[in-house]
């Protein structure tokens, strides 16, 4: 299945930040929420225009945020010298704010993380290429090189083109909050629903942060027709409850969702480029906090 030209117009820059604790640190709950809030405060202090672009107000309608944050897996307790970090994927015009983001990470490290503001040190920053290779960018001494060029959505999707897969697994390590009908799905979504939501996200990102064009309707129909014949096995998914206290409103917000493994069987070759791209984009709501992230595993049978 031919990939649309519009994917070449969506630049993406995935930054990885590795830090070390200088003091004991305890992160309660989901670390992505802590990093999300700390980075937002740091950006607001250093560069309000960047904070407005990346965070802004609450998302309106179908306009997604131009970023996705993902915390590295870790426990709640961190002794001095422990390593931790997160990745941040920027879309469209947000890629031009990478250097400001790096300064904001240094700022939040000096200010401290968590309720006791435990200080950290930024050890390194790297940029992920389309094939997963990490290219060093910053070190403890500061800037080592100019910000590498972003990849495009087309480059990431193309890596999965032509694979004769008949079986694939989506391993969700952060909660999937997928809306369908009048609420959130609490069990495995049909393949068609999953692909439809994924294509809607790709289309919205291309429209607002790419070349200004949504995905062609005939392509969407063709992909969804293939997805209709794909079987889904969702016994490995489970619902996980969690609430977050909003720093903006002071209200508790439900962030529950599905975690675990979802297996798909059938003619998956036409779907793999989109599923592979979804690893970078995440799926479902609250993706800017890191929710809806999965790893794609594919096999010929």
pLDDT of residue 60: 56
pLDDT of residue 248: 58
pLDDT in tens, 161-175: 988 889 999 999 999
Topology at the third CATH level for domain 153-299: Alpha-Beta Plaits (3.30.70)
Q: Provide the total of helices (H) and of strands (E) in the chain, helices listed first.
A: 7, 17
Longest dimension (CA), the chain: 55
Three-state SS for 296?
strand
pLDDT of residue 140: 59
Whether the pLDDT of residue 144 is over 90: the answer is no
The answer to whether 36 and 69 have CB atoms below 8 angstroms apart is yes
User: Residue 69 — very low, low, confident or very high, per pLDDT cuts 50/70/90?
Assistant: very high
Report the phi/psi class of residue 132: left, alpha or beta, with left for phi > 0 and alpha for psi in -120 to 50. left
User: Residue 251 — very low, low, confident or very high, per pLDDT cuts 50/70/90?
Assistant: low
pLDDT in tens, 10-55: 999 999 999 999 999 998 888 999 999 999 999 999 999 999 999 9
Distance CA 48, CA 107 (A): 14
pLDDT in tens, 122-139: 999 999 999 999 998 876
Tell me which residue has tokens 């979804």. 278
Strands 257-265 and 167-176: antiparallel
Check residue 162 and report its DSSP letter.
T
Topology at the third CATH level for domain 9-152: Alpha-Beta Plaits (3.30.70)
Domain boundaries, the chain: 9-152, 153-299
Q: Which of 152, 57, 138, 130 is nearest to 100 (CA)?
A: 138
User: Residue 273 — very low, low, confident or very high, per pLDDT cuts 50/70/90?
Assistant: very high
Check residue 129 and report its DSSP letter.
-
Same fold, 9-152 and 153-299: yes
Residues 6 or more apart from 277 whose CB is under 8 A from it? 7, 153, 156, 157, 160, 198, 202
Residues 6 or more apart from 149 whose CB is under 8 A from it? none
Strands 243-245 and 294-299: unpaired
pLDDT of residue 163: 86
């Amino acid at each position: 299945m031919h990939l649309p030209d519009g994917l070449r117009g969506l630049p993406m820059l995935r930054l990885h930040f590795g830090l070390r604790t200088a003091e004991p640190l305890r992160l309660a709950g989901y670390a992505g929420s802590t990093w999300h809030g700390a980075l937002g405060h740091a950006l607001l202090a250093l560069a309000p225009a960047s904070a407005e672009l990346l965070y802004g107000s609450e998302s309106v309608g179908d306009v997604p945020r131009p970023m996705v944050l993902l915390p590295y897996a870790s426990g709640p307790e961190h002794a001095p010298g422990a390593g931790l970090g997160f990745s941040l994927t920027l879309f469209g015009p947000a890629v031009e704010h990478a250097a400001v983001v790096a300064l904001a990470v240094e700022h939040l490290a000096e200010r401290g993380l968590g309720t006791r503001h435990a200080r950290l040190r930024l050890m390194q920053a790297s940029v992920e290429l389309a094939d997963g290779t990490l290219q060093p960018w910053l070190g403890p001494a500061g800037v080592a090189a100019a910000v590498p060029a972003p990849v495009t959505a087309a480059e990431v999707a193309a890596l999965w083109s032509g694979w004769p897969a008949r079986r694939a697994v989506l391993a969700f390590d952060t909660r999937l909050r997928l809306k369908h009908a009048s609420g959130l799905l609490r069990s495995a979504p049909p393949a068609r629903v999953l692909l439809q939501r994924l294509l809607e996200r790709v289309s919205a990102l291309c429209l607002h942060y790419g070349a200004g064009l949504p995905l062609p309707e005939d392509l969407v129909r063709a992909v969804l027709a293939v997805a209709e014949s794909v079987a889904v096995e969702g016994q490995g998914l489970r619902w996980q409850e969690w609430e977050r206290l909003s720093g903006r409103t002071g209200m508790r917000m439900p962030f529950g969702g599905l975690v675990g493994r979802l297996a798909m069987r059938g003619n998956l070759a036409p779907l793999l480029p989109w599923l592979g791209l979804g690893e970078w984009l995440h799926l479902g709501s609250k993706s800017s906090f890191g929710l809806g992230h999965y790893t794609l595993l594919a096999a010929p049978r």
